[in-house]
Amino acid sequence: MKVKKWDIIIIALFVLLSFVPVGIFALTVAGNEEADGVYAVVTVQGEEYKTIKLTGHTGSEELLVRTELGMNLLRVVDGKVMMFEADCPDQVCVYQGAASKPGDTIVCLPHKVVVEVKGTVPDKDQTDITTN
């Protein structure tokens, strides 16, 4: 069987196209600054209000969320976020404590404020199967 010029061109084209998904994945991860670490997403009335990076956060920072429904004061201390103060009648959000792990949530129903911790925490016990 004789190999023709177009056979080589088609094979080379397929080899080059096989790298397209790798390039798309690399661009997607590079464009997502929140891909590494843990961060808190503050949502007010279903709209994203602010994103706060928790990984590597040191010191204390406060975020005042004031809407027509009321006021909430969030405090970020050393990688943990908490609802420090609110003027809602039940104060359930204040008593929920600090959130720092992905999946933790703080909710203030009267003011429609949700603080959700997202991201990934590297597992120190897990060994990479490609490098051992």
* Domain tally, the chain: 1
Range of the domain at 53: 38-119
Which residue did the predictor score with more confidence, 127 or 75?
75
Q: Quickly state the pLDDT bin for 71 (edges 50, 70, 90).
A: very high
What is the tens place of the pLDDT at every residue in 46-57?
899 999 888 888
Q: Tell me whether residue 110 is in a domain.
A: yes
> Model confidence over 6-44: pLDDT tens digits?
999 999 999 999 988 888 887 776 655 445 688 999 999
What are 123's two structure tokens?
């597992």
Query: Is residue 25 in some structural domain?
Result: no
- The CATH number covering residue 71 comes to 2.60.320.10
Asked if the structure places residue 44 within a domain, the reply is yes
DSSP character string of 13-60: HHHHHTTHHHHHHHHHHHH-TTSSSEEEEEEETTEEEEEEE-TT--SE
Residue 1 lies inside a defined structural domain of this protein: no
Q: Is residue 4 part of a domain?
A: no
Which strands, in side-by-side order, build the sheet including 47-53? Answer: 47-53, 38-44, 113-119, 105-108
